[in-house]
Structure 1
Amino acid sequence: MTDQIRFDDGASYERYMGVWSQLVGAAFLEWLALPTGRRWLDVGCGNGAFTELLASHGAPAAVHGVDPSAAQLAFAHKRPALRDADLREGDAMALPYPDDAFDAAVMPLVIFFVPDPAQGAAEMVRVVRAGGLVAAYAWDMHGGGFPYHMVQREMRELGAALPAPPSPEASRCDMLEALWREAGLIDVELHEFTVQRTFASFDEFWAIVVGWAAVGETIATMSPEAIAQLTDRLRVSLPAAADGSISVSARANAVKGRVPRAG
């Protein structure tokens, strides 16, 4: 079992989380409602799931992405929409860009993975020009909004230990608002997004779950009896429709604010 959550496989991430990221990301971008022709930075861009949406939304003047995983970035580089994007390795708490380099910085599904969320927010403010936008969205980890919350819940009830992000509290609305205000941002607004994803069958859903290392490696340590219990419980929690498909909902909290102008 892993003792920390790592993202080093762009293809498996796409199946496990990339689809979810784009579902909520599309609604998030509509909420931001930025004018066209802006310079964007995607902090924690990963395999480019959200960055791809960004590049196709609002005719941006430039799209940049930063992530600590070379493997994830390699996957992102293969996306046709990101052919002209500037994607580089870097740390959210020490962004490799000069001050005032962007019109907007976004952090999609990342802030609870940042060991010091306040420093991550401060870094986004630093690299965004006065009057620019700083925004983020995160699964509501405390409120059961994570797409695979029911899997985690059932596994823990069966005694399995799962790795956790370092800053899950940063996903709460009140914490997001506090982080943005403490970073000096103004016109701070909050929003909640609920999205739904349909899987063709329980077997498809289960294959995606066990295909993700942070969960699959833990399941591999469980006894056959415990795994059977887990799947039985999940089938009850996720009843199938008449065609055998199952639908899962997820909820994300979002925040946005503007960098104040001098004077």
Structure 2
Amino acid sequence: MSFNDVPAEAYDRFMGRYSTLLAPLFLDFAGLDFADLDLAAASGEGMRVLDVGCGTGALTAELATRFGQESITAVDPSPPFIQAVRERYPQVDAREASAEELPFPAGYFDAAVAQLVVHFLADPVAGLRELQRVTRGGGTIAACVWDFAGENSPLSVFWRAARELDPQVRDESLLPGAREGHLEELFVSAGLQDVVEGALEISRGHSGFDEWWAPYAGGVGPAGVYLAGLDPDRRSELRERCRAELPSGPFVLSARAWAARGRVEVA
């Protein structure tokens, strides 16, 4: 899935409203504060953390708060996203790069984290191995993906309505890591050690249906692309099916992400 033509502001409105809430929970799960930070301090070198598939910087912001901007390298293949990160966090080393081909030497980072990225990789195991390559022995690798298969993601209402409209629609439930246990399987297949999986729960309030629905028109991600491909009548029908699933006034939307962490083997 390419985000090269997606404006940063459109992504922020669509997914950033949820990923910013997920970021601190994800880093708490990764445990970087308690493990890698101590090891980096003991070595006399600064902490080096790689934010893979950084998007517009939801996780970058949380990493910078915990470790300082100068400790963070952020990569994403989308030029608009990287430009946004450079403007928002000028001391972060932000580069255009994909998870599968990282422009860094072996063992360069103390940790590598990937929030809402693995499910978009053509070969997630190869991507996780590349994260390992650039992370030192004993360092942490962590990733998370929304629970699309369990229909407990921020987009579940949309995809349920889309399936009612078109039972053949290709939603995000079959993507890598989107079901319980699959991220753990991918981590183990990639050769990571001491792998642990967990669930992260977020809740986000919405002022009403129109505020929730409007960002879908931005064409962001598989859901936005699907919506943009519908003719106006089908688009309206999908919108009304979604409206029927949600309260008429303000509401709170809860969602779950599956997360996994592991250690790079010490040579």
Q: State whether TM-score is above 0.5.
A: yes
> SS in structure 1 opposite 2:177?
helix
Residue 258 (1) aligns with residue 263 (2): yes
Partner of 1:66: 75
Tell me the TM-score normalised to structure 1 length: 0.87
CA distance in 2: counterparts of 1:204 and 1:165, whole angstroms: 23
CA distance in 1: counterparts of 2:55 and 2:74, whole angstroms: 8
Cα shift at 1:59: 4.4
Match of 2:63 among 54, 69, 85: 54
Matches within 5 A, 1:83-98: 83-98=90-105
Q: Structure 1: which 5+ residue stretches go unaligned?
A: none
Q: CA RMSD in A?
A: 2.4
Conservation of the 8 A alpha-carbon contact between 1:177 and 1:255: yes
Residue 118 (1) aligns with residue 116 (2): no
Match of 2:3 among 2, 6, 14: 6
Tell me which amino acid in the other structure corresponds to 1:29.
Answer: L
Conservation of the 8 A alpha-carbon contact between 1:189 and 1:256: yes
Residue 188 (1) aligns with residue 209 (2): no
Tell me which amino acid in the other structure corresponds to 1:178.
Answer: E
User: In terms of mean alpha carbon deviation, does 223-232 or 60-69 score higher?
Assistant: 223-232
Match of 1:249 among 250, 254, 259: 254
Partner of 1:202: 209
Tell me which amino acid in the other structure corresponds to 1:54.
Answer: L
Residue 75 (1) aligns with residue 72 (2): no
1:120-152 CA-to-partner distances (Å, cap 9, x unmatched) read 010011111011000001112211133112112
Residue 32 (1) aligns with residue 18 (2): no
The alignment-based identity, stated in percent, is 37
Partner of 1:158: 165
Residue 238 (1) aligns with residue 235 (2): no
1:41-74 CA-to-partner distances (Å, cap 9, x unmatched) read 0111111121111111244761001111111111
CA distance in 1: counterparts of 2:120 and 2:229, whole angstroms: 25
Match of 1:175 among 176, 179, 182: 182
CA distance in 2: counterparts of 1:129 and 1:222, whole angstroms: 47
Cα shift at 1:226: 3.5
1:14-45 CA-to-partner distances (Å, cap 9, x unmatched) read 01001211111111112223234521001111
> SS in structure 2 opposite 1:119?
helix
> SS in structure 2 opposite 1:141?
coil
Tell me which amino acid in the other structure corresponds to 2:65.
Answer: S
Task: From the superposition, tell whether residues 55 and 161 of structure 1 become closer, same or farther in structure 2 (CA, over 3 Å).
Answer: farther
Partner of 1:16: 14
CA distance in 2: counterparts of 1:175 and 1:194, whole angstroms: 18
Q: Structure 2: which 5+ residue stretches go unaligned?
A: 38-45
What is the total number of aligned residue pairs between the two structures?
Answer: 254
Conservation of the 8 A alpha-carbon contact between 2:76 and 2:96: yes
Task: From the superposition, tell whether residues 228 and 68 of structure 1 become closer, same or farther in structure 2 (CA, over 3 Å).
Answer: closer
Tell me the TM-score normalised to structure 2 length: 0.86
Partner of 1:229: 237
Task: From the superposition, tell whether residues 162 and 70 of structure 1 become closer, same or farther in structure 2 (CA, over 3 Å).
Answer: farther
1:172-225 CA-to-partner distances (Å, cap 9, x unmatched) read 332211221222221111110111111111111111222334545544554555
